[in-house]
Amino acid sequence: MRSSIVVPDLGAGSECLKVSGWLVDEGDWILAGDLVVEVLIPGLTFDIAAESTGRLVEIVAAIDTTIRAGDVLGWIDDSTGAANVETDDPSTNRVFRNS
């Protein structure tokens, strides 16, 4: 099942928001709560966390894209086609388990 990564209401009012950087790449496994994307309001940077665990399957908003609260930034797919799959990621020293 796919779930979206959405720009939360950051209280920026009419300020221009931009995607300043992705902290993960398409295809990466992420856990709910992992920081995945940085959003910039002039002078401030906010990190947005994933709300679900799975693989980042699509980045919708590229770096320097102008965005606003409620916009979809990317998509996470929590299905792997197999239950109870463990993946060891040596770059983070974490084991991801999909059950």
| 90 band by pLDDT with thresholds 50, 70 and 90 | low
Return the amino acid letter for 3. S
Give the pLDDT confidence score for residue 11 in this predicted structure: 84
**C-alpha span between 37 and 49 (Å, rounded):** 7
Single pTM value for the model: 0.76
Kindly list the structural domains of the chain, giving each domain's residue range(s) and its CATH number in brackets, ordered by start.
2-98 (2.40.50.100)
pLDDT attached to residue 16: 83
Confidence of residue 98 (pLDDT cuts 50, 70, 90): very low
Q: How many CB atoms lie within 10 A of CB 99?
A: 6
